[in-house]
Amino acid sequence: MSVAGERPRDSSGLGPEFGPSALGTKEHWDAAYESELQIFQESGDAGEIWFGEESMIRLIRWMEKQKIPLDSSVLDIGTGNGVLLVELAKCGYTNLTGIDYSPSAIQLSQNIIEKEGLSNIKLQVKDFLTPSAELSGFQICIDKGTFDAISLNPDNAAEKRKQYVKSLCTVLKMEGFFLITSCNWTKEELLNEFKEGFEILEELPTPKFCFGGRIGNSVTALVFQRKK
Ligand SMILES: C[S@@+](CC[C@H](N)C(=O)[O-])C[C@H]1O[C@@H](n2cnc3c(N)ncnc32)[C@H](O)[C@@H]1O
């Protein structure tokens, strides 16, 4: 499950810039979730879990290990089908918000959340790159594949990545945690992207692969803390 397709990487952190892709456009995600919404209505299938079940378990384990209070405010950036929020709610987290710029993604999340009998998850159609004042003060922000998608935007992706970091600074509290899972960026590249205002706390273990005698990760999962 890759947003960009395969990109063999090593631990040097040096990789090519990504070319523009339909995966970086709202039209793509609108159509994708429109179709997933229809499938859900017909079969009850919640659709794709980006980076698999283990990507959710990894994040939730970290939160549990850190003893993050269950009432901490959590924002899922680009929530897609909202399944991560459902899992967090099932683990007892009570202050959950998901945003996505695709109305069909939010509709799908809403339907899944209702089917699960959960009512206290807040959902909003919102472009993360144009945050509004009411979206602020979160203790935890989670991104699973959204920064990857934004990085593929055909219209000035470098500027969009900068705006992403600005938006993150608007929504995340000082000393709040930012958990990112990416298949497009190495640890070193992500450290560079988030060097202004964030420091790395931990790299979460992800599956490794061996390519040309070098060991790399197909997915990178990092925890940052917003600096004071
Ligand atoms: C690879 S999918 C991941 C979905 C979800 N996080 C998951 O793990 O299943 C990327 C998501 O980011 C959303 N997205 C992309 N750009 C966005 C933006 N600027 N603002 C809000 N959501 C965005 C897409 O609509 C899509 O739901």
Largest CA distance in the chain: 50
At 214 the pLDDT is 73
**pLDDT, tens digit (0-9, with 9 covering 90-100), for 29-46:** 999 999 999 999 999 999
Pairing of β 220-226 and β 172-182: antiparallel
Q: Which pLDDT score is estimated for 135?
A: 95
Mutate to test the pocket of ligand 1, among 29, 36, 53, 181 (most ligand atoms within 8 A of CB): 29
CB of 78 within 6 A of ligand 1: the answer is yes
pLDDT at 208: 77
State pTM to two decimals: 0.92
The ligand 1 atom nearest the CA atom of 150: 16
The finding on whether 36 has its CB within 6 A of some atom of ligand 1 is no
CA angle 18, 144, 105 (to 5 degrees): 100
Q: What's the confidence (pLDDT) of residue 17?
A: 58
Cα of 104 vs centre of ligand 1, distance in Å, is: 11
| 78 Cα: distance to centroid of ligand 1 (angstroms) | 3
pLDDT at 218: 85
The segments of the chain whose pLDDT lies below 50 read 1-2, 4-16
Distances in Å between the alpha carbon of 87 and those of 31, 46, 70, 92? 25, 13, 13, 9
Q: Is the CB of 129 under 6 A from ligand 1?
A: yes
- If you measure from the C-alpha of residue 153 to the centroid of ligand 1, how many angstroms do you get, rounded to a whole number? 12
